[in-house]
Amino acid sequence: MPFIQTASAHIRLLLGLALSWALVSTGAYADVIVDTQAGQLRGFKHDSREVYVFKGVHYGQDTSGERRFKPALPVAPWHGVRDADRFGDVCPQGGEPGRRSLERTEFLPMSENCLVLNVWTPASDSANRPVMVWLHGRGYYAGAGSEPLYDGPALAERGDVVVISINHRLNVFGHLYLAEAGGEAFADSGNVGLLDAVLALQWVRDNIQNFGGDPDNVTIFGESGGGSKVATLLGIPAAKGLFHKGIIQSGPTRTGLPAQRAAQNAQTVMQRLNVTSVQALQALPFETVLAAVTETGRTDIALSPVVDGRVLPADMFIDVSAPSARGIPVMIGANKEEHTLYAPDSDRGMSEQALLEDIRSSYGDQAEFLISQYREARPEATPWEIFIGIRSARFTQGSNLLASVHQASAPVYQYIFEFPATERLRAAHGAEIPFVFNNATSNPNARPGADKVEDAMSEAWIAFARHGNPNHAGIPEWPVYDLESRSVMVFDVNSRVEMDPRKAERQAHEQVGIR
């Protein structure tokens, strides 16, 4: 098909702008060509939104073979124009959910050449829009930025922001700590998955202005494992300055994996694979290495960021915030009924005795005390609802703990999502994601009031990305979190601010911990 330039694109090219609009007649949409430091990319107009889309943009090189378990190299330069019209490969992982594309009609290929990102932007101009970089969930074992829940055009259009999602190495490829087995060359191996995220943020710094974004106003946000990645990146000195705000959704991680335990896990993997050197481990097919830890999704040994004294010098939020986190505004929160996503429906009619036995399995002799404190905060709750509340504490009370630490060094805004997004799961783990991405009301099964919750939440996320403050006209005044008021925004049909909600539960977990 011949290349047809419009007059406006021709004028821009004649003027020699670094950023060029090259509009092509396609019948349904027009494309746009943008310069990056490595070469030119062709993006495409979204079919129903005033947004341009760039899919599968490589920010790093292939991580297979000799590059496996090592920090990735930046993408190599190329000549000509690359089409950014398909999602890139997903990083090696077990199971299928992370491989399903946004179109929902196919499973994406899986390979170690997976360091890609996706960009949704209202225009590739000089508007210097806020940039929102999404870190996907599914822990550190699976997932991809191309999953259906993370579709970015509605958020980009609504907020006039640039939305980015990324893929990065996972599980055994992203967090196998081989410093003892492989020496200095593999000293960073326990954290290369998050070093991939650092490399992606460097790409954003160096290129996003040509996509209409502001490299000096970058917010990282994520849910579950993605929220944990945000919390951990706050403690990584190499990420300092590459982002300016963080949003932690249901992922209040405060510590990394101890190096000694991580080294033992690496030995376990090598023994399972019957190899004695890292070089032999690098030579194996990725499918073989992956099968040593998982076939279904979750790994059977801990593979997550490691406190290695180098990439991650220390735990992030124990007593005080890590030095690299200080001064960075954070929004953090969780969902009221997180654990309903994991609990079997057969437990919904549980008895008081079944509740006590379950909580005793984790809290021992302190179970009765903990249950009594939850009853004080929720006097009408059934045994099942108390069970869900206590089992959700790693998210809800974990957010309280992280907020309580970080509020001493930067503004913190805490929230709780209470809208029953579905009748069965209610405000379950992950239920807030469509509301953040402004996609909830596109669901034909959206419950009454979903539009009000979507407006409140997506605008709060946009405001925080723009100004470091989530307040907007559609919600009550949302104060910063401090240890005196402990103010929390409750997102529901009628969103409201509560001071120290369910105080008895918080105080109980401060006494007995979170297990």
Q: What share of the chain is helix, strand, coil (3-state, %, to 5)?
A: 35, 20, 45
Task: Report the pLDDT value the prediction gives residue 102, as an integer from 0 to 100.
Answer: 57
Q: What residue segments make up the domains of the chain, in order of their start? A: 49-71+84-328, 333-512
**Per-residue pLDDT at 105 exceeds 80:** no
Percent of the chain scoring above 90 in pLDDT: 90
244-264 pLDDT per residue, tens: 999 999 999 999 999 999 999
Residues 6+ apart with CB under 8 A from 137: 143, 222, 223, 224, 225, 226, 227, 251, 430
Q: How confident is the model at residue 96 (pLDDT cuts 50, 70, 90)?
A: confident
Residue 296 carries which DSSP code? S
Distance separating alpha carbons of residues 464 and 267, to the nearest angstrom:
43
Which one of 20, 189, 224, 321 is the catalytic residue? 224
Please state which of the ranges 4-8, 75-79, 239-243, 299-303 shows the lowest mean pLDDT.
Answer: 4-8
For the question of residue 277 being annotated catalytic, the response is: no
Query: pLDDT tier at 296 (50, 70, 90 boundaries)?
Result: confident
Mean per-residue pLDDT over the chain, rounded: 93
- Collapsing DSSP to helix, strand or coil, 330 comes out as strand
* Beta strand pairing call for 40-45 and 31-35: antiparallel
| Mean pLDDT (whole number) for 473-497 | 98
Q: What is the pLDDT of residue 99?
A: 72
Helix axes 225-233, 192-207, angle to 10 degrees: 70
Do the beta carbons of residue 121 and residue 315 sit within 8 Å?
no
**Residue in 193, 243, 432 with CA at minimum distance from that of residue 332:** 432
Q: Between 383-391 and 367-377, two packed helices, what is the crossing angle to 10 degrees?
A: 110
Q: What is the mean pLDDT of residues 196-215?
A: 98
Task: Report whether 115 contacts 201 (CB < 8 A).
Answer: no
The pTM score is 0.93
CA separation for the pair 120, 208 (Å, rounded): 11
Of residues 160, 170, 195, 157, the one with CA closest to residue 71? 195
Length of the chain: 515
Q: Does domain 49-71+84-328 have CATH number 3.30.70.20?
A: no
Vertex 280: Cα angle to 277 and 286 (nearest 5): 130
**Is 431 in contact with 440 (CB distance < 8 Å)?**
no
Q: What is the mean pLDDT of residues 131-153?
A: 96
Give residue 75's pLDDT: 98
* Separation between Cα atoms, residue 487 and residue 144, nearest integer Å: 34
| Matching residue, tokens 């070469």 | 39
CATH topology identical between 49-71+84-328 and 333-512: yes
CB neighbour list of residue 42: distance below 8 Å, 6 or more residues apart: 22, 31, 32, 33, 81, 82, 83, 84, 85
**Contact call for residues 153 and 159 (beta carbons, < 8 A):** no
Which residue has better confidence, 16 or 82?
A: 82
- Note whether 315 and 255 are within 8 A (CB): yes
> Is residue 27's pLDDT more than 90?
no
**Known catalytic membership, residue 472:** no
Q: Is the distance from CB of 293 to CB of 301 less than 8 angstroms?
A: yes
What pLDDT score does 4 carry? 28
pLDDT of residue 104: 54
pLDDT at position 17: 29
Q: How far is CA 289 from the centre of its chain?
A: 25
The predicted model gives 276-300 an average pLDDT of 96
Catalytic residue among 112, 147, 338, 418: 338
Annotated active-site residue in 244, 429, 472, 509: 429
Measured in whole angstroms, the distance separating CA 227 from the mean position of its chain's CA atoms is 5
Specify the DSSP class assigned to residue 257.
E
Task: Identify the CA nearest to 244 among candidates 280, 219, 227.
Answer: 219
Residue 231: the pLDDT is: 98
- Check if the beta carbon of residue 256 is closer than 8 Å to that of residue 315: yes
Fold category of 333-512 in CATH: Rossmann fold (3.40.50)
Do the beta carbons of residue 157 and residue 137 sit within 8 Å? no
CB within 8 Å of 52: residues ≥ 6 apart: 32, 43, 44, 45, 46, 120, 121, 122, 123, 124
pLDDT at 3: 29
35/13 Cα distance (integer angstroms)? 12
Told to judge if 224 belongs to the known catalytic residues of this protein, a careful annotator would answer yes
